[in-house]
Amino acid sequence: MLANKIAPTAVWLAFSAFLITHNPSPAITSELSYDSMFKEETATGGGLANAFFYLLSATGSPYGTVGTTAEQDETSKALVKPYLDPAFQLQRASGERYTAATYLPADVDAYEIGDVRETRPADDLLVVRYSVRTTQTLPDAALVMGKDKAPRLTVFHWNSVDASWKILSHANFNTPVAAVCDKEPLIDNGLESSVSPDDYKLGVSLIEKWTTLLDEGNSRNMLNPQAQGQNAGGMGYTTMSEYKDPIISKIHFDDVVVSRNGRLIVVSYYAKVDQALFQGSQLLSAEVTPRLLTFLQGDDESWSLIANATFNPPKELPQGTVCVPAGTLEEAP
């Protein structure tokens, strides 16, 4: 069962199993609740993942409530924005994706974090792959998300000017189980790039190079040794030593969004392959599905992939999905 929300730093660092937390009252939510961990340069990947979700639990409507007001949404945007890298992108399994300028966070009530794996492609970068059990709704998508354990893949970037970790990219593999009644569920929010034409062209070229290498079976040539990957079927890899070149037939992609912060580029896009075998054993869907990739430029100016998220989201709500009235989570599956 879920415990009352208590998350001192000492508890954040103990990740032997699952850390269990709940949405705090406004009196408990303070700057020290999550900000101190973001400002700890020696923070662990598990600590930062917990700080991120503790931040999300302070957004949205009060605990146990479905639906948010326009005022609550604006407050939530303002609360999370200082923790987002300029190149921030987020992709959800429900289809929406966001940049730092457009991000409206999920309304998280309760969460558990576990199965934490972290890698460090550079001194100022942490790639964290972990699982989360959570109770949450998506304010702009009008969706209630599943409570089962689902993967996440997050990249954190240390900002030396602010002396704080920032969230660079985040892949959320949780899937919807219900819609908020009388609202139109959002599957694709039509995100567009805001980078310069040159940066957009560079982002597209990185996708082209990566997909070509995948098709040729030479993707290790672009993979950072400290890279992590995750797919919607639950499989993933931590570092190149665990990576197996996928078996993929021709890849088609479009609807590219690019964001950049210096030597860091995040790209999201929709891809379709005729057939793909992931990690040597898992046959992936041939449907059009989103991807979220994070690249790092090295001292030799070459680009390597440090985080690779492959989604298989539903294109519409699953058959038999119920709607839940705004105001309570009691009737949610």
The predicted pLDDT at position 250 comes to 77
The predicted pLDDT at position 134 comes to 80
The amino acid that residue 242 corresponds to is: E
Among the listed residues 176, 144, 138, 148, the one whose alpha carbon sits nearest the alpha carbon of residue 329: 144
CATH assignment of 9-180? 3.10.450.50
Q: Which residue has better confidence, 236 or 27?
A: 236
> With bands split at pLDDT 50, 70 and 90, how would you rate the model's confidence at 320?
low
The answer to whether 9-180 and 197-310 have equal CATH topology is yes
- Statement: 197-310 belongs to CATH 3.40.640.10: no
94 within 8 A of 143, measured Cβ to Cβ = yes
Give the whole-angstrom CA distance, residue 302 versus residue 214.
Answer: 18
> With bands split at pLDDT 50, 70 and 90, how would you rate the model's confidence at 242?
very high
Q: DSSP per residue over 250-273, as a string? A: -EEEEEEEEEEETTEEEEEEEEEE
- The predicted model scores a pTM of 0.82
Query: Could you count the other beta carbons within 10 Å of the beta carbon of residue 327?
Result: 13
- The mean of the pLDDT values for the chain is 79
8 has pLDDT over 60: no
The amino acid that residue 261 corresponds to is: N
Angle at 319 between CA 314 and CA 320, to 5 degrees: 135
**CA contacts within 13 A on the Cβ side of 295:** 24
The predicted pLDDT at position 312 comes to 58
What are the strands of the beta sheet with 276-278, ordered from one edge?
247-248, 276-278, 282-284
Average pLDDT rounded to a whole number, residues 258-262: 98
Give the whole-angstrom CA distance, residue 313 versus residue 8.
Answer: 35
Give the whole-angstrom CA distance, residue 91 versus residue 263.
Answer: 21
Give the whole-angstrom CA distance, residue 72 versus residue 59.
Answer: 8
Tell me the pLDDT tens digit for each residue of 142-159: 555 566 788 999 999 999
Tell me the pLDDT tens digit for each residue of 267-309: 999 988 765 555 555 445 556 788 999 999 999 999 999 999 9
Domain ranges of the chain: 9-180, 197-310
Among the listed residues 184, 183, 205, 209, the one whose alpha carbon sits nearest the alpha carbon of residue 327: 183
168 within 8 A of 85, measured Cβ to Cβ = yes
